[in-house]
Amino acid sequence: MADKDNSVFELLNSIDVSDKVEKKKSGKNELSYLSWTWAWTEFKKKFPKATYEIKKFVSKDGNELPYMYDSTTGFMVFTSVTVDDVTHEMWLPVMDGANKAMKDKPYKYMTKYNGEKSVEQASMFDVNKTIMRCLVKNIAMFGLGLYIYAGEDLPEEPPQPQLSDAELIEKYLKQNPENKPNVDEFLKTKSEHEVAEMMKAYIDWSK
């Protein structure tokens, strides 16, 4: 089984998917992903007998639902993909465009710099989109496009607040008061905006 799993992985991992990668802006981040239709078509071309399953869970009223739900953490969907006797599973939370968990009711949360934000209630459209994204990620476990997920589990950089030029300079000087003479000298020959842009690179945004 190990040899078969390795040969499947090596074949799919060698496929260049760079011209099939789509980009989506999510806040300050740009997400890379593959269309589920393309990924599944390519997968089936190589392995016609491949199958996938959307995991379902029985609700309190006896209905089968394609997700698990927790009032604290939100919705989670699960898939499994099988090639011959090799099966890989995957799971994915239902999230909004800012990568915040969606729940069965809208809710609000506070951000450090941009005040209060809201998350809409999840719809079946959101659940369906997440299931298909989960399927693509599941297929990637066999090697197809796996590299585009590299680094997705790294912590995000602290977001930079929307500050005016004067506020940027003030924030920099608050962290580096000893450099005020240098900033004053810069302001004699450069515009406030130019100085603020220079200071941006030296501000600790986590403070």
pLDDT in tens, 24-82: 766 556 678 899 999 999 999 999 999 999 999 998 899 999 999 999 999 999 999 99
- Going by their DSSP bridges, the two strands 86-93 and 64-65 should be labelled as unpaired
Q: Please provide the CATH number assigned to the domain covering 2-149.
A: 3.30.390
Q: What distance in Å separates the CA atoms of residue 112 and residue 42, rounded to the nearest whole number? A: 43
CB 182, CB 172: distance < 8 Å: no
Q: Per the structure block, which two tokens stand in for 103?
A: 């729940």
Predicted pLDDT at 153:
53
Torsion of CA 63, 65, 68, 74, to 10 degrees: -110
Ranges of each domain in the chain: 2-149, 165-200
Instruction: Output 166 or 41, whichever has higher pLDDT.
Output: 41
Q: Per the structure block, which two tokens stand in for 92?
A: 């994915």
Q: What distance in Å separates the CA atoms of residue 68 and residue 75, rounded to the nearest whole number? A: 6
Assessment of whether the complete model's pTM goes beyond 0.85 = no
Question: 69 phi and psi, to 5 degrees?
Answer: -135, 135
Average pLDDT over residues 112-120: 82
Predicted pLDDT at 145:
92
- What percent of the chain stands above pLDDT 70? 86
